[in-house]
Structure 1
Amino acid sequence: MASTTIDTPGGGGTHTPAFVPPAPSEKVSGRTWLAVAAGMLGAFMAVLDIQITNSSLKDILGTLSATQEEGSWIATAYLVAEIIVIPMTGLFVRVFGMRAYMMGTTALFLVFSTLCGFAWNLPSMIAFRMLQGFTGGALIPMAMTLVMAKLPPSKRATGMAIFGLTATLAPSMGPTLGGYLSELYGWPSIFYINWVPGLLLIGGIAVGLDKEKRNLSLLFTADWLGIFFMALGLGSLTIFLEEGNTKDWFDSAFIKTFAALAIIGLLGWVVTSATRKQPFVNLGLYGKRNFAAATALSMAMGMGLYGSAFILPLFLAQIPGYSPMQIGEVIMWAGLPQLFIMPFVAKLSSKIDNRILCTFGLLLFGGSCLMNAYMDATTGYDQLLLSQIVRALGQPFVMLTLSNFAMNGIQPKDMPSASSLINMTRNLGGSIGIALLATALTNREHFHSARIGESVTGFALATQERLDALTSSFIGKGFDSATAADMALKAVDNVVRREAYVMAYNDGFFLVAAVLFACIGVLWFSDKVKAPSAGGGGGAH
């Protein structure tokens, strides 16, 4: 039987979770696998719902009579609630037990998903999306906690491989599924579809996990001051990141207010966590070298995952003018090959130093972004296929090994905290990545427009020839000379803007690639880790 390092935590006090496994045996029952699979389904559903509204946003805004800027709150509300609830899952599991909490939060998630489909105006949609995020966000760290708590060390690589798939597949499949459902059945269907995985999840957890005693008294002794500061800090930081670009960052009093609230909240959280004997989540884990390196990687991976899933659909919609379904067909290739790669990576992770595997994955993922950094106005499905497949090959190597680094040497009582923090930082990384890229796209488009404009002037011979040819063409189509000259000028201006946007998108991919390559240096600060294999205690030290 594989040995597992379960230390008895000194001073762990009264809140050792009921679900800490009593040295799990090598043989895993079908019930346990059913519970783990149900947990994965939940994580996939919750991550998918971050992105699923993106491709249908235009239809949703049309129905709700809202502007594009107002519509950004549909995604922001979900993200804010999700990032607040993720660190709280450990506390809720101790209070309600894993089985009751997962079934309860999923049932509420399905109710709020249905209400999103029935939303009658923008405020109702934002309120229901926030409640949907608050109930769905818990499902992400719970999937990782299930793997660590219910599977023996030798089977965790397999469990983490499936968890890694939920984290990388869902951002790729979100826009695809959203676009497909919207086109066929209308936008409310993107919310109603959650009933299928949701009911399967509730059934799987009901059968796969034993009932646990509730411990409601923990709610009265919980670190509510710390929770308040955490909610204020993370919520304000997410709003600051999500809304910053549309409101011109620090030129806006709104953004300055949320930046200040984020600093107050996060500092307050750190201080209360350091002074409380039993904080609701153990921030001291950031003091572990492996966990700190895994957190930095997780944040960068969030930037890469959500960032690339943000830029490419924008490019395809704006430049070649793809429909949501066509965009989905391109992005799908960043997801599908992972299904076949992940089991292979899980096997390798118990034989090869995970730092080597992760480096390989980061090189492939970063390389795929570099391949996208040389697009032009004619780039489409055929030209993007190879880069999407390279991305799909690289992501599993990073996601699986990242989980191994994060959970290496974590005591059982800290597993819910570790799972919450690592997933929180990935989501935060996604918000930071999208904020950075949205700002970079705006700034670089202005920069490239100005630079191209220096060459394309009325005094340049090539520009004059092009304008004359276009004017003649429009006159040939029956327009008078003044209208034709005006149309020619507009056509040239459109080409300049289009090229400036293409260059800005290319710069965005360069930025993502640079972040991913920089992470290789951070990675080698961590210890050598191998996933435990079936033969023994594995090489995690």
Structure 2
Amino acid sequence: MTSSTKSLPTAVPGAPPVGSKVGARTWIAVAAGMLGAFMAVLDIQITNSSLKDILGALSATQEEGSWISTAYLCAEIVVIPMTALFTLAFGARRYLIGTTALFLLFSTLCGAAWNLPSMIVFRMLQGFTGGALIPMAMTLVMTRLPANKRAVGLAVFGLTATLAPAMGPTLGGYLTELYGWPSIFYINWVPGVLLMAGMWWGMDREPLDLSKLVDADWLGIALMALGLASLTIFLEEGNSKDWFESGFILTFAALAIFGILGWVAVSFWRPHPFVNLSLYGHRNFLVATALSAVIGMGLYGSSFLLPLFLGQIANYTPMQIGEVIAWMGFPQLLVMPFAAALSSRVDNRIMCSFGLLMFGGSCVMNAFMDASTGYDQLIVSQVIRAIGQPFVMLTLSNFAMQGIKPQDMPSASSLFNMTRNLGGSIGIALLATALTNREHFHSARLGESVSDYSLTTQQRLDGLTQNFIANGIDPADAANKAVRVVDNLVRRESYVMAYNDSFLIVGLVLLGCIAVIWFADKVKSPGGAPGAH
């Protein structure tokens, strides 16, 4: 792989020299950036546990309601690659404060939405403003902290990427149950105001340079927006519309291919593209972003499967689901500082391999659930997952940003985070399809055994029928009720097997990534001494 010299025309500030003292203002600014990234990632998942209440209030169906998440994801993925351009044009301080203020406005409007179309529009605008907060947090770490302090910053950034998906269903469930579904949007004011105050005090004012917008590669931006938005819609809506059997899905697949290929072509044709795609020519960056997509599949995929299993099979309430998911989040607060300290002493490939082993192994553990699996049986696998995820996210960030020039930091951060979010969308789409297909497969196989010609089935039906008759139910109704009970049991067991298959897929893919990380060069976080590497 060759490295690229192509970059944005104006360099962003480089990081301070190794060993430089970091003042309180800088730490406050970085902390505010982390808070923004956490808030933006949290809002991807926070509606999941409240969707039933939201749809009821807006008089919408489950299929229509899927657009509430799709709109947010589309806008968020589109804006992430554009943050480098907007930062150059407005300055990091002004852009972060402005986009956060708009994010809070649109969050409030989401809580006040009066019908489904208004909710979809406000969620799209919320995603467009909130998406910028994710790469900007990583950019602040790389450009405001000296190299020997970055491990701490990247550790906290990794925590926002892994903790927020776990906290989303938990927080959403609690808020909805206690205060109603609009509160999941209004709660953004708490971190949002703190973020703006931190940026106002912690960052210096930078001059406006609106000429960057005038001279921007708007053709590339338009193709990127078309391609990524169409790809997100294709992934989010594909399973519910039976994929390529739908003209709607075929149209967006074609638009995605046209837009993304056009974006790539224009980016290599223009001397100064709005985001530097040729960074993929760096081997470490390529390996890190590829694995970031897979980790996105694992993060969002496991956060998609487990709440669904607990709600459908175990009949857990949103609050009970949140209590189980919390075990995937809180232990990370203890693990991340240890991982950050270790990253300057141990080859990050070893650390990432350990993290992938723990993360993938926890998913394989979930591949052996049954209908009685609940809180007690899931704690161990959740804690193991919580131990593994910080090791993966921290080290992948180190690999991605190793050797990147200061002027390319915003582009690198944007592409790294965009890839992870796209990986999440791809993972959820594939897992939703696998869940449907495997349920049909297992239902058919079980149905072959559970038939009227089976002596065991006949005995089970006779026993159920007699039990219903003993409770005063008419014999004919009792027989029909017995058939429905057996049918529901078959369907339940089919879904349990399908969830197990889906977790096994995620686990094996993550374990397979252990081999891929060794294609990267050896990397360690810089130590505390000046000149450390």
**Smaller-chain TM-score range?**
over 0.9
Aligned twin of 1:331:
325
Which amino acid in the other structure matches residue 138 of structure 1? A
Q: Which moved more, 1:22-31 or 1:512-521?
A: 22-31
1:15, distance to aligned residue in structure 2 (A) = 1.7
CA distance in 2 between counterparts of 1:247 and 1:432 reads 16
Aligned twin of 1:346:
340
Aligned twin of 1:457:
451
- Taking structure 1 as the reference length, the TM-score comes to 0.97
Which amino acid in the other structure matches residue 32 of structure 1? T
CA distance in 2 between counterparts of 1:230 and 1:152 reads 33
CA distance in 2 between counterparts of 1:210 and 1:149 reads 13
Q: Does 1:321 align with 2:315?
A: yes
Q: Does 1:15 align with 2:4?
A: no
1:434 is matched with which residue: 408, 428, 432? 428
1:205 is matched with which residue: 199, 205, 209? 199
Q: Please identify runs of 4+ aligned residues in structure 1 that moved more than 6 A.
A: none
CA distance in 2 between counterparts of 1:22 and 1:304 reads 35
Aligned twin of 1:145:
139
Give CA deviations for 1:352-402 in whole Å, capped at 9, x if unaligned.
Answer: 000000000000000000110000000000000100000000000000000
CA distance in 2 between counterparts of 1:11 and 1:398 reads 29
Q: Does 1:399 align with 2:381?
A: no
Q: Does 1:222 align with 2:253?
A: no
Which amino acid in the other structure matches residue 411 of structure 1? K
SS at match of 2:365: helix
CA distance in 1 between counterparts of 2:123 and 2:177 reads 21
Aligned twin of 1:3:
none
1:231, distance to aligned residue in structure 2 (A) = 0.3
**Where do residues 110-259 of structure 1 align in structure 2 (5 Å cutoff)?**
110-259=104-253
Aligned twin of 1:87:
81
Give CA deviations for 1:167-188 in whole Å, capped at 9, x if unaligned.
Answer: 0000000000000000000000
The alignment's C-alpha RMSD in Å is: 1.2
Which amino acid in the other structure matches residue 312 of structure 1? L
Aligned twin of 2:256:
262
Which amino acid in the other structure matches residue 64 of structure 1? L
CA distance in 1 between counterparts of 2:368 and 2:205 reads 55
CA distance in 1 between counterparts of 2:488 and 2:335 reads 43
Which amino acid in the other structure matches residue 114 of structure 1? T
Q: Assess if the C-alpha contact under 8 Å between 1:373 and 1:505 holds in 2.
A: yes
CA distance in 2 between counterparts of 1:102 and 1:218 reads 17
Which amino acid in the other structure matches residue 135 of structure 2? P
SS at match of 1:443: helix
Which amino acid in the other structure matches residue 381 of structure 1? Y
1:536, distance to aligned residue in structure 2 (A) = 3.6
Give CA deviations for 1:419-458 in whole Å, capped at 9, x if unaligned.
Answer: 0000000000000000000000000000000000010111
1:501, distance to aligned residue in structure 2 (A) = 0.2
Q: Assess if the C-alpha contact under 8 Å between 2:17 and 2:147 holds in 1.
A: no
Aligned twin of 1:4:
none
Q: Does 1:53 align with 2:47?
A: yes
The alpha-carbon distance between structure 1 residues 369 and 167, as it changes in their structure 2 partners (threshold 3 A), is same
Q: Assess if the C-alpha contact under 8 Å between 2:167 and 2:329 holds in 1.
A: yes
SS at match of 1:212: coil
Q: Assess if the C-alpha contact under 8 Å between 2:443 and 2:490 holds in 1.
A: yes
Structure 1 unaligned segments of length 5 or more: list them: 1-6
The alpha-carbon distance between structure 1 residues 403 and 13, as it changes in their structure 2 partners (threshold 3 A), is closer
CA distance in 2 between counterparts of 1:532 and 1:20 reads 16
Q: Assess if the C-alpha contact under 8 Å between 1:42 and 1:140 holds in 2.
A: yes
Which amino acid in the other structure matches residue 253 of structure 1? G
CA distance in 1 between counterparts of 2:46 and 2:367 reads 25
Q: Figure out how many residues of one structure are paired with residues of the other and give that number.
A: 531
1:538, distance to aligned residue in structure 2 (A) = 3.4
Q: Assess if the C-alpha contact under 8 Å between 1:173 and 1:335 holds in 2.
A: yes
1:142, distance to aligned residue in structure 2 (A) = 0.3
Q: Assess if the C-alpha contact under 8 Å between 1:530 and 1:538 holds in 2.
A: no
Which amino acid in the other structure matches residue 324 of structure 2? V
CA distance in 1 between counterparts of 2:18 and 2:413 reads 19
1:26, distance to aligned residue in structure 2 (A) = 1.9
Percent of aligned pairs sharing the same letter: 72
CA distance in 1 between counterparts of 2:15 and 2:467 reads 77
The alpha-carbon distance between structure 1 residues 183 and 11, as it changes in their structure 2 partners (threshold 3 A), is closer
Give CA deviations for 1:129-153 in whole Å, capped at 9, x if unaligned.
Answer: 0000000000000000000000000
Aligned twin of 2:361:
367
Aligned twin of 2:515:
521
Which amino acid in the other structure matches residue 89 of structure 2? V
Aligned twin of 2:269:
275
CA distance in 2 between counterparts of 1:492 and 1:13 reads 64
1:12, distance to aligned residue in structure 2 (A) = 5.6
CA distance in 1 between counterparts of 2:20 and 2:9 reads 29
Q: Does 1:289 align with 2:278?
A: no
Which amino acid in the other structure matches residue 388 of structure 1? Q
1:20, distance to aligned residue in structure 2 (A) = 3.1
1:21, distance to aligned residue in structure 2 (A) = 3.7
1:299, distance to aligned residue in structure 2 (A) = 0.2
The alpha-carbon distance between structure 1 residues 275 and 109, as it changes in their structure 2 partners (threshold 3 A), is same
Q: Assess if the C-alpha contact under 8 Å between 1:168 and 1:335 holds in 2.
A: yes
CA distance in 2 between counterparts of 1:111 and 1:191 reads 10
Q: Does 1:444 align with 2:438?
A: yes
The alpha-carbon distance between structure 1 residues 485 and 13, as it changes in their structure 2 partners (threshold 3 A), is closer
CA distance in 2 between counterparts of 1:529 and 1:426 reads 21
CA distance in 1 between counterparts of 2:6 and 2:41 reads 36
Aligned twin of 2:380:
386
Which amino acid in the other structure matches residue 513 of structure 1? G
Which amino acid in the other structure matches residue 342 of structure 1? M
Q: Assess if the C-alpha contact under 8 Å between 1:338 and 1:392 holds in 2.
A: yes
Aligned twin of 2:370:
376
CA distance in 2 between counterparts of 1:202 and 1:394 reads 32
CA distance in 1 between counterparts of 2:511 and 2:258 reads 32
- Taking structure 2 as the reference length, the TM-score comes to 0.98
Q: Does 1:489 align with 2:479?
A: no
Q: Assess if the C-alpha contact under 8 Å between 2:18 and 2:529 holds in 1.
A: no
Give CA deviations for 1:202-245 in whole Å, capped at 9, x if unaligned.
Answer: 00000000000110011110000000010001000000000000
Q: Assess if the C-alpha contact under 8 Å between 2:366 and 2:500 holds in 1.
A: yes
CA distance in 1 between counterparts of 2:516 and 2:282 reads 14
Q: Does 1:63 align with 2:57?
A: yes
CA distance in 2 between counterparts of 1:367 and 1:14 reads 45
Aligned twin of 1:96:
90
CA distance in 1 between counterparts of 2:106 and 2:304 reads 25
1:356 is matched with which residue: 350, 354, 360? 350
Give CA deviations for 1:271-314 in whole Å, capped at 9, x if unaligned.
Answer: 00000000000000001100000011100100000000000000
1:22, distance to aligned residue in structure 2 (A) = 5.4
Give CA deviations for 1:478-535 in whole Å, capped at 9, x if unaligned.
Answer: 0111100000000000000000000000001001001101111111100000000112
Aligned twin of 1:498:
492
Q: Does 1:512 align with 2:518?
A: no
1:24, distance to aligned residue in structure 2 (A) = 6.5
Q: Assess if the C-alpha contact under 8 Å between 2:148 and 2:526 holds in 1.
A: yes
Q: Assess if the C-alpha contact under 8 Å between 1:303 and 1:432 holds in 2.
A: yes
Which amino acid in the other structure matches residue 351 of structure 2? L
Q: Assess if the C-alpha contact under 8 Å between 2:287 and 2:520 holds in 1.
A: yes
CA distance in 1 between counterparts of 2:307 and 2:144 reads 38
